[in-house]
Amino acid sequence: MGKQMTEMLKGTLEGIVLAILAVEPAYGYDITARLREQGFTDIAEGTVYALLLRIEKRGLVDVEKMPSEKGPPRKVYALNAQGAEYLREFWGTWSFLAARIDQLQRHAENPQNEGGE
């Protein structure tokens, strides 16, 4: 993954993980696997676990320890009401930014069109 992609992901990975948890609760390794299924192949498990600790401390998820077939219990993360509100705000911000970036891209690729459309 290039440096530019890494930097952009830093600002959005939290929202991406919350979106995964909006579908169903999951534990860290499962979240990493789902990210990889979505094409985020270079995200390290350590990055995901550090992010999960941050969103847990911020109260965006509920955590339940579940027995594991191998080793200690797993922490299963579930989106709670505060996390769902944060995710709604994330999607609103994402939509705003994506529209502006798309408009800038279209204008940059076709600068003679002064209206940007």
Residue 113 has a pLDDT of 64
Q: What is the mean pLDDT of the chain?
A: 91
Residue 1 has a pLDDT of 57
Q: Which of 10-14, 25-29, 81-85 has the lowest average pLDDT?
A: 10-14
Residue 21: left if φ>0, alpha if ψ -120 to 50, beta else—which one? Answer: alpha
The identity of residue 30, as a single letter, is D
> What are the residues whose beta carbons fall under 8 Å from the beta carbon of 19, sequence distance 6 or more?
87, 90
> What are the residues whose beta carbons fall under 8 Å from the beta carbon of 106, sequence distance 6 or more?
113, 116, 117
Burial of 75 (0-12, 13-18, 19+ CB in 10 A): middle
pLDDT digit string (tens) for 22-49?
A: 999 999 999 999 999 999 988 888 999 9
The identity of residue 116, as a single letter, is G
pLDDT band (50, 70, 90) for residue 53: very high
pLDDT band (50, 70, 90) for residue 97: very high
Q: What's the whole-number mean pLDDT along residues 87-108?
A: 95
Residue 11 reports pLDDT greater than 80:
yes
